[in-house]
């Protein structure tokens, strides 16, 4: 009985993590630029879990270059009247056989951290408050008091989310 209970708990914890994988996830050796710099390269494509219903399953594109020390994240966005693309550069702090950790500390109020788990192929983007309480930016920074973490979803996760939204709308009517 204990073994069955243990197996059920492990399965229940493992299923959500396994399901949350990007559409594309590849780490390869490449050569980049005019100088032909050899580097380890990550490419991933998917949709952030907090992106909303008007954003496609392939709305985020991530590239990281180990030798160059940066990751670039491009996001397609919908603002209600039109689409746009935003890009963010992240400085790689660590890249080992298990994970990539990269940060963008350029926003006034937040530090954004990109974490790529190379073993489970799971990518998260989290934001944390810089703690700005004084100065001209303090009132603006109070608007960003919530810390968030998003997961880069694949097609399966995006479809599940759309089905759940549809079921929720049906129940509310």
Residues shown for the chain: 173
Pairing of strands 99-104, 83-95: antiparallel
Pairing of strands 99-104, 110-117: antiparallel
Report the alpha-carbon distance of residue 128 to residue 146 in Å, rounded: 8
Q: What is the pLDDT of residues 5-55, one digit of tens each?
A: 333 333 333 334 445 789 999 999 999 999 999 999 999 999 999 998 888
Q: How many CA atoms lie within 13 A of 117 on its CB side?
A: 14
Report the alpha-carbon distance of residue 119 to residue 99 in Å, rounded: 8
Taking residues 99-125, report their average pLDDT. 95
pLDDT for res 145: 65
Smallest CA-to-CA distance from 75 within 150, 159, 156, 164 is with 150
Higher pLDDT, 81 or 3: 81
Smallest CA-to-CA distance from 153 within 124, 117, 119 is with 124
Q: Per-residue DSSP letters for 90-140?
A: EEEEEE-SSEEEEEE--SSSEEEEEEEETTTTEEEEEEEE----SSTTHHH
Taking residues 128-146, report their average pLDDT. 79
Q: Which of 3-7, 52-56, 92-96, 103-107 has the highest mean pLDDT?
A: 92-96
């Amino acid at each position: 009985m204990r073994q069955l209970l243990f197996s059920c708990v492990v399965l229940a914890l493992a299923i959500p993590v396994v399901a949350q994988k990007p559409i594309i996830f590849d780490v390869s050796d490449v050569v980049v630029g005019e100088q032909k710099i050899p580097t380890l390269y990550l490419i991933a494509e998917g949709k952030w879990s907090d992106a909303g219903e008007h954003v496609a399953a392939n709305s985020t594109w991530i590239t990281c270059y180990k030798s160059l020390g940066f990751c670039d994240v491009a996001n397609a966005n919908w603002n209600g009247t039109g689409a746009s693309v935003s890009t963010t550069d992240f400085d790689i702090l660590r890249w080992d056989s298990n994970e990539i950790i990269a940060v963008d500390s350029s926003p006034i109020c937040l530090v954004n951290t990109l974490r790529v788990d190379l073993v489970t192929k799971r990518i998260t983007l989290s934001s944390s408050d810089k703690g700005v309480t004084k100065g001209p930016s303090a009132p603006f920074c109070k608007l960003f008091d919530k810390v968030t973490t998003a997961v880069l979803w694949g097609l399966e996760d995006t479809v599940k989310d759309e089905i759940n939204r549809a079921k929720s709308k049906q129940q509310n009517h």
